[in-house]
Every structure is written in C-alpha cells, then in structure tokens.
Structure 1
Amino acid sequence: MSTTTKRRVKVASLAPEFYQAMIALDAQSATGLDPLLAHLVRIRASQLNGCAYCLDMHTLDARHEGETEQRLHLLAAWREAGKFFTAKEQAALALTESITLISVDHVPDAVYDLAAEQFDDKELAQLISLIVCINAWNRIGVTNRLEPGHYSPS
C-alpha cells in the first residue's frame, strides 16, 4: 500500500543559508564552459534523475540561449544521434552519465580519458563541478517534488 506524503519541506525558506550556498555554487560551476554545452549537461543529468522542475528550467534556458529543438529532442539518445553533437559535447555527456549514475560503474577510465582529451584541465574541473552541482539540484527538486511550469528564463 502506497501513501502520498502530504508535507514536503521548502529547503529555500527553511535552510536559507544552504540554499544561498547552492545558488553561489551553481553560479561558479559552469564558469568558462560554453553555455549551450552547460545546458546540455544540466538537461541530461536531469533526465537521468527524473527531475521535472530542472528539465523544464534548463530546456527553457537552453532555448533562450539558442539551442535547437532538434538537439533537445535527441539529447536522451545522444549516442545514436552522434552527428548532432560534437566530440566535445559527447565526451561531456558521457562523463555526465557516469558521474550521475556513479553507483553503476563508478567513472570508468575510458570515459574520464575521453573527457580529458576534449577539455583542458581547468575546463574538465569546471565540467565536473557543473555535473556535481546539477546532481545536487536534482536531488533537491526530486525530494521536494518541485513542480515544473513556474520558471521563466531571465
């Protein structure tokens, strides 16, 4: 028998220092990375984590920044739609999947090495930071069942 939880805490208002720290962390996480690549990473992690709120937010942001509908629709099958994504984007998406699904196979050397071939050390550090940050946001969104449809790109 399944019951629905009636009460979900609002992290933003009940743990404001943590929430503000997450916002600051997020602001720094993609520094130096191509904005469209950063959106693809955020969207792919959110797809894997089932975070509807983050999917809504980051697809809107990606469109606002000029991302195409076709690439957004193909993102869940990026390996099969390889020609639509650059080698650098593919490496970032593979690393995103490995870090997001870390309990499956940790982060295989081959995936890490592929990313290291496409990104310099600073970019790779930023990419890892971005992936860790979006996974944290996804966990907040999923745990608190944040509802999509309330976000508007700035």
Structure 2
Amino acid sequence: MTHENTVPRTPRLDFAKAAPTAFKALISLDAAACQDLDPALAELVKIRASQLNGCAYFLHMHTSDARKAGESEERLHMIAVWREAAGFFADKERAALDLTEAVTLVAQGGIPDDLYARTAAYFDEHELAGLLALICTINTWNRIALSTGKVPVPQGPGVRR
C-alpha cells in the first residue's frame, strides 16, 4: 500500500506531551532492551529497522548516534545492503540484522526456526530477549514517528533548505 504525500508538512501530534506515560514507558523499555547488548550493535539494529520502515526521523537520529559512538561512515553506508557486504559485519551483527528484518517484516514470512536458531547461537538468553525487545521497541518508535509526522531536521555543512 502506498500513500501520496506520506510525510505531513507539519507535525500532527507531540506524542511525548499527549501521552507522557506511554512515552516514558517506551523510553524505559528501550533502555531495558539495550541493557545486555553492545551499544554499537543496538544502533545497527535501530538503523536497519528504521530503513525498512521508511522512518527518516529515527534513521537520522540513530545514524547520528552511531557516528558519535565511533561507527564508521563506511559501515553506515553498508547497513542497507548488509547481505551483500559480508566483510563489513561480524557474524553476530549479521545474525542480529537478519532477525531485525524478520521481526520488522513479520507479516511477510514470520520468524523461521532456522533464523531463530542461527541468531540464538550468537546471543545468550538475556541478550536474545533484549535484542527482540529492542527490535520491537524501534519498530514502535518508527510507527509513532511516521503516524505523528515527525521529520528530521538537517544540520551542518551542505544542508539545503
């Protein structure tokens, strides 16, 4: 399904102000999900889910966060094509990205048992539970941002207005 003019010109709703309890709960869930995960891996997951969901707001936020955390431009450019860019990502990262895609696009094919088993080989139970919670959380954030009309604000040199 496609929609013409999917991004509104002005925000529709300030979710944090309109639903502060839900907003705080999502922030808490996001923090809890990341507790047992490598921060760099968490950013890769957030970036990939945001790419798949077409969420410019969180894609901008998490690529910026990843850069600040020391992630290379080279790897950031390869996240969208991680399957073809095998040398850029460790096997554990590739497993996390694969699970991210399956959970984000769950209606297209579910979570195959072999994918789950491959991912579980790299993560202990606490990490795997955190990874699943993180994937679900970023998908929720993406859907809120897209529904409420949040858009990124470009900054820095080369910005066109």
- TM-score when scaled to structure 2? 0.88
Q: Does 1:47 align with 2:33?
A: no
User: Which one is further off, 139-148 or 71-80?
Assistant: 139-148
Q: Does 1:131 align with 2:135?
A: yes
Letter of the structure 2 residue corresponding to residue 44 of structure 1: R
CA offsets 1:113-147 (integer angstroms, 9 cap, x no match): 11001111111111101101100000011111211
Q: Which residue of 1 aligns with 2:26?
A: 22
CA contact (8 A) 2:11 2:150 kept: no
The number of equivalent residue pairs is 150
Q: 1:104 aligns with which of 97, 104, 108?
A: 108
| 1:40-79 map, 5 Å | 40-79=44-83
Identity %: 51
Structure 1's unaligned 5+ residue stretches are none
Letter of the structure 1 residue corresponding to residue 32 of structure 2: Q
TM-superposed CA distance for 1:149, in Å, is 2.0
Q: Distance in 2 between matches of 1:51 and 1:65?
A: 21
User: Which one is further off, 37-46 or 13-22?
Assistant: 13-22
Letter of the structure 1 residue corresponding to residue 48 of structure 2: R
CA offsets 1:64-97 (integer angstroms, 9 cap, x no match): 0010000000000000001110000000000000
Aligned in 2, Cα 1:98/1:3: closer, same or farther, shift over 3 Å? closer
Aligned in 2, Cα 1:7/1:55: closer, same or farther, shift over 3 Å? closer
Give the superposed CA RMSD.
1.8
Q: Which residue of 1 aligns with 2:41?
A: 37
Q: 2:151 aligns with which of 129, 147, 153?
A: 147
Structure 2's unaligned 5+ residue stretches are 156-161
Letter of the structure 2 residue corresponding to residue 98 of structure 1: A
- TM-score when scaled to structure 1? 0.92
Q: Distance in 1 between matches of 2:154 and 2:148?
A: 15
Q: Distance in 1 between matches of 2:109 and 2:11?
A: 35
CA contact (8 A) 2:37 2:130 kept: yes
Q: 1:122 aligns with which of 103, 121, 126?
A: 126
Query: Which stretches of structure 1, 4 residues or longer, exceed 2 Å deviation after superposition?
Result: 2-7
